[in-house]
Structure 1
Amino acid sequence: MNALFNNYSRRPISLVDGKGTVVKDSNGKSYLDFTSGIAVLCLGHAHPSLVKALQEQSEKIWHTSNLFDSPEQVKLAESLVKDNHLSHAFFCNSGAEANETAIKMARKHTGKSNIITFENSFHGRTFGAMSATAQEKIHKGFGPLVEKFTYLPFNDARALKDAVDDSVAAIMLEVVQGEGGVNPITEEFANTIQDICSNSDVLLIIDEVQTGIGRTGTRFAFEQTPLKPNLVTMAKGLGGGFPIAGVLGTSEIYDTFSPGSHGTTYGGNPLAVAVSQTVIDIVFQDDFLDEVKEKAAYITNKLNDLLPEEEFTIRGMGLLIGIEFSSNEVAPYITKLEEEGLLVCGAGPNVIRLLPPLTVTFDEIDQAISILKKVIF
């Protein structure tokens, strides 16, 4: 027992060094990191441009608070809403905090309380975000949750149509449910959601905490769907490993974010903004995103060739990939993959989740496939 609380089931290795996709533990063993800090390290470990941005900003000013103007925040906001229908940004510190913000703003903007979310979703572990998360295991032991969340089956258009009434403030969802099993939205369901939100006083909140910032091959995953959200939450890849999160919104939400309506001490910290701007300058380039799509197609094709469809299902979007085992739990396989030098995540009891850095090389993909073949067969 040590001085840390025991709320994590930590793996028995300590990672002490990393460059790109490769990390080393305290014993000097190397691994391919296909977790990316759970979709955080979009440019891999110690990307030189991010290191430079952080070093340069650290010699200027670390923190000012949001009592003062921040041209750097404005620039980052403009970069995030360029060439899409969104218009304004708010910066905070974590995905859960971003989702709390969106929940508050949807209620305040509409004057209504009920928010529809979906089974197997994950929106965070603070009380509002946990209440939005439709997973009993996340709720267990914490007493009464925040009221007025309605949970529906994901990708069930009929259930959604039947549930929407005048009490609904917003529909909140992930385009790909990451923690819940790597479950992508269907085209029919996306069309149903957009039709409802376009023809009623119901806002659309899209949680892009895991799927945003190039992870799916576009800036945001919703760009590959008919969905036009009023609020988009983001974190993880936004800072490439440095903590920052945010909410993007349409112009109609602007007045709802009035002075005093919401705030954060550390949000938009100069260090975080400097790193995030560098991430966006790299990831939002068309050539970079095209390469993410090429890598995603490459690894998906390799997996489909390797794994028989009667035993495995490959699904996801971009470099957020799930391998569902039809009959086995994946925990023992994750341990064996680690022993062979490949770090991966789970997504429920029978899904392995692959989240390589967006900068992963084709050779590293081939190495990972070789390790998967060795362990699974």
Structure 2
Amino acid sequence: MSRVELNGISKSYGTTAAVRGVDLAVSDGEFVTLLGASGCGKTTCLRMVAGFIAPSAGSILIGGRDVTRLAPNRRDTGMVFQHYALFPHMTVAENVAFGLKVRRVGAAEAHRRVAGALELVRLGDYGGRFPAQLSGGQRQRVALARAIVIEPTALLLDEPLSALDSRLREELQLEIKRIQQGLGITTIFVTHDQSEALTLSDRVAVMRDGLIEQIDSPAALYRRPATSYVARFVGRMNFLDAVVTARSSQEQYELRLEGPDPQVFHALGRQSAAFVPGERVAVAMRPELVQLGSEAPNRLRMSVEKAAFLGSRWLIHGRAGGGTAIFVELPDGGPIPSVGSALDIGWRAEDVLLFRHDDDTRSASAGAILQGEPA
């Protein structure tokens, strides 16, 4: 059994709480990613599992064993660091064998396991080279081989791909997933890159201010974010201010968009929150779910300001009534609206998300929030 459990884990530095009572259970063979912005507590959580940081409160179990106070080398985990952490004076094979040497594994067995680990990461012919003779991607493969050669109960990866260029990062994502699935090893991965998290994970835990905001499958996290923060952080999202004018059933709402030209929107409120007439809400819509034309449901008219080519699609930047920024994704191959033109757009009621109008949504509802781009 290789289940990893965090029970009420907290970590404080003086009066500053880095992690605040996190509960997380990673099942045997599961790949879970901790996703969040810098300072959210994701790396602190991972390092507490690894044993490099002692928790201020709570307990950590690996394979049913309480390891909260054990040293890192007694936890049976393999760690892959962001910047490789290879010994430059050792060959690739010697780097991979280091953990086996510390564990006093016999020479013949160590040789067999090192050869197997290097073959697994597709570096079988590189054992005699030194780290300086390798590319960044190859060094990260060596670091991965070093982590798995000890046959750990759990594999821990701390932003291992962030130093690589985008194409190599995508290639190694596939390699990591292939290796993880082949070994069936329980894995906790830390990243600030949402695309990476959605590609690799069985489940993603979005962290914020030392807490888990939501944990779910990649598809559920993207399609049904539980909070406005998750909606803003995972993928692209448009936000508009509105007031609830009617609630026709448990799920169906009529909304009046705020601004100089009020318009009526309809939404299916599938989140857990219920809203009452007169309540201010934030209306959220994914740019890729837009429908074009004057007959589109939940219709808006936007003025096109910019069209950015993204390869397989176009990202249209514009403004709706009142100056609110709007972003629309259109597939490549169709007509692209020209700058300065007016575009009729809309979303189906089932594609509209509603959130309470709090501090998060007030900061978001000035326009669309794009991951990695300013509002």
Select the structure with the greater relative contact order (CA < 8 A; seq sep ≥ 6). Answer: 1
Q: What TM-score, normalized to structure 1?
A: 0.29
Q: What TM-score, normalized to structure 2?
A: 0.29
Higher normalized helix content (fraction of residues)? 1
